[in-house]
Structure 1
């Protein structure tokens, strides 16, 4: 059952990240998340308040004047002139924790000895985890996703718990697709950033410090070389096809889904398993298009970076050169008449007919060439007819093959292929058509393949020694 978003998270949860102090609250959430990983059963309230106080003092030392307010919107430390820095930051740390509790980012429990502990709700843990992943540019191992999917579909889990194995493989496929789409969108984000740089040094810094380190080194280069998923792609697609074509295996997976309590009925379980297999197949079938679009986006970034650097170099070249010459002339104490050589005079022409945009001309209506009818001489027509009749006479049709085989068979119900042993190249070609038409079911005979493959070599020609059987209803020749 799918729930609505605000049935899971409380109202006003994201107000914390929209005010003037959103950065301090974001840092506080990440600090809470880090300590929640070690203090699994709750963080002591006093310990967390001391950690937040230390963080606020660091912000103060860096010159950030933060006004952390309490629930009622009043300053958490109103009498600032009478309090020390430690008292102010301690009051602000308490205000941060109270607001986190009021917006239900955290929960506060009072346990034995009246000691208070901070716990993170399940939705807060997941949301903060996603925010932390956005801040940490980690290396993505794309081949790991393909290996996990292949292992789920072919390993021991697929034999003992097939339903869970298929659904787990579909979840990993969704994560794999999401990572590739994120890489594609992240390239666009970096492309938009590089075109906003205002100096060549900023363009170079962005290219090498951001794009190369975060995109090329950690994702794109690995995806195109050592971490490429081509090693498992075809194996996964073949395995999915085997699952979809094996009715017994699908029923076994559906039964496992009902037995494990994942689905109420076998029909729903089988439908879910099929949809999961289709999703995996669609993911790995569409990888070529996704890789192509990622390459296109990467080339767009490189082009944008190059164009931006070239534009800035052209814009700044004249000014930088003129300033350098000014300083040089000032150092040499040249006369004022030499200063005229600093600035190049450019000729500016007035508006003329040649400089204005010329309107497009309407295309003239198409005038087709006059069709001239040329009569073909009768001797040429007669030659063409003779050639076509001869070509049709030599053409091998199904009727000719039927007449050839049934005529050699006579009144018999079957005969061996070696009786049609070819003596010429034309007969060998006819033998190929015997194999072809005897296997498609549309002729008066059929090929009965021998259980043990026999290769005959007669008259310098090699062919299979099968049996030709007359079909019921075909007339005897």
Structure 2
């Protein structure tokens, strides 16, 4: 709170000013030049920067409440500079040796200007920067003989920042759903999707996570590094001793490792939630397009419009129904049938029923019963578990990625699904609608097997 105590009361007047946008733009221009001049600017240079800014964008500076008639006679550049100095966003320092007035940016103002820059531009990818920082910090901690607990704290800070960046991405998805519902034309939805959602989310944020795979490139290496550090007790004791000698023994190494690992689990959950939101938005876009295309041509669209009309005018609902009944037969089967207004989702089919064609079969004879029993008893429980374990990658066995080379492998896959449905099974199938896979003459659903949580 030390910087908060230094902020003058006039500092917050910028957010209430009628020229707020102009002042923020001026601060960004001055700060850009400020960084490339050894953090040292004269008053004349600031006026020249503001003059160039005004020449490019032609701002219309309005009168402030505390402006005097004398202030109104000054040039726009000098008026902006004087106002920022009075408000405390800039600070004047007189150099009496050279008789020059220097302009500096106070520490508290620098923090706010940095926030303005982040709001004004999204050129840098935070997700890319932070995951690389975590990887580099942990690698340095593991291999640098001078490493201390401070490096682990730095890795934890960057892990939390990455989580925060992903959480912001997830929460900002709501505004795109709201914009989608506001569109009332096919071209408007297409423009909103391509110019807004694809540009801001897919290419700038979601694309970085899923296409460049920056998180997944470093994830396994980071987890391996954390595991090696945790297993090396001698190294941990040496780091603790070095940190204690340096007076930095506030945190325990194992506690920091637990927090970092927990942060990476949160990152994976948030990325999974981003996948769900992305899929949900694409489905909503397609549904909205289909509705606008067929809203006035089919019975379903007309009935939906009728229901919307009733909800908008509830006091005239009886009158609307009466008038509608005179012109439209509401008892038609096409209207009353649930298939017209609502399409019920199909229930999840059984695994075996997806493998076999839907056809009526007679009673099983003796040979068929013996063959089915032979498949059930051919492999033991241990063999089925070994089959699942051998085909797991990152603790997930994806049936679409394994190679079914013969009848034996195919039977093991069938029995693996049967085993996963039992209560005492060590594995379970993720709840989702799998697609069908056809490989090497075999056809089966792309199920994903994971270990069952106790």
TM range (shorter): 0.5 to 0.7
Verify the 8 A CA contact 1:162 1:256 in the aligned structure 2.
yes
Alignment match of 1:152 (pick from 134, 137, 143): 137
Paired with 1:9 and 1:297, the residues of 2 have a C-alpha distance of: 41
What residue number does 1:462 align with?
none
Is 1:196 matched with 2:164?
no
Tell me the secondary structure at the aligned position of residue 110 of structure 1: strand
Alignment match of 2:109 (pick from 100, 124, 135): 124
Question: TM-score, length-normalised on structure 2?
Answer: 0.58
Distance 1:65 1:99, change over 3 A: closer
Structure 2 regions of 5+ residues with no counterpart?
Answer: 299-322, 333-454
What residue number does 1:378 align with?
none
Residues 337-373 of structure 1, C-alpha deviation per residue, up to 9 Å, x if partnerless? xxxxxxxxxx722699989xxxxxxxxxxxxxxxxxx
Structure 1 regions of 5+ residues with no counterpart?
Answer: 79-87, 319-346, 356-477
What residue number does 1:38 align with?
36
1:199-348 equivalences under 5 Å are 199-261=185-247, 263=248, 266=249, 268=250, 270-271=251-252, 273-310=253-290, 348=324
What's the offset of the Cα at 1:132?
Answer: 0.9
What residue number does 1:181 align with?
167
Tell me the secondary structure at the aligned position of residue 66 of structure 1: coil
Residues 77-114 of structure 1, C-alpha deviation per residue, up to 9 Å, x if partnerless? 54xxxxxxxxx6x5332222222222221111112432
What's the offset of the Cα at 1:294?
Answer: 0.6
What residue number does 1:92 align with?
76
Verify the 8 A CA contact 2:39 2:104 in the aligned structure 1.
yes
Residues 98-133 of structure 1, C-alpha deviation per residue, up to 9 Å, x if partnerless? 222222211111124321121112232232122212
Verify the 8 A CA contact 2:4 2:108 in the aligned structure 1.
no
Paired with 2:296 and 2:30, the residues of 1 have a C-alpha distance of: 48
Verify the 8 A CA contact 1:140 1:219 in the aligned structure 2.
yes
Tell me the secondary structure at the aligned position of residue 226 of structure 1: coil
Tell me the secondary structure at the aligned position of residue 296 of structure 1: helix
Paired with 2:3 and 2:101, the residues of 1 have a C-alpha distance of: 30
Q: Return the index of the structure with the highest Cα Rg.
A: 1
Question: TM-score, length-normalised on structure 1?
Answer: 0.55
Distance 1:310 1:68, change over 3 A: farther
Distance 1:74 1:251, change over 3 A: farther
Distance 1:144 1:113, change over 3 A: closer
Paired with 1:235 and 1:130, the residues of 2 have a C-alpha distance of: 33
Paired with 1:143 and 1:66, the residues of 2 have a C-alpha distance of: 40
What's the offset of the Cα at 1:215?
Answer: 1.7
1:41-190 equivalences under 5 Å are 41-60=39-58, 65-69=60-64, 72-74=66-68, 78=72, 91-111=75-95, 112-140=97-125, 142=127, 145-155=130-140, 158-190=144-176
What residue number does 1:28 align with?
26
Distance 1:51 1:152, change over 3 A: closer
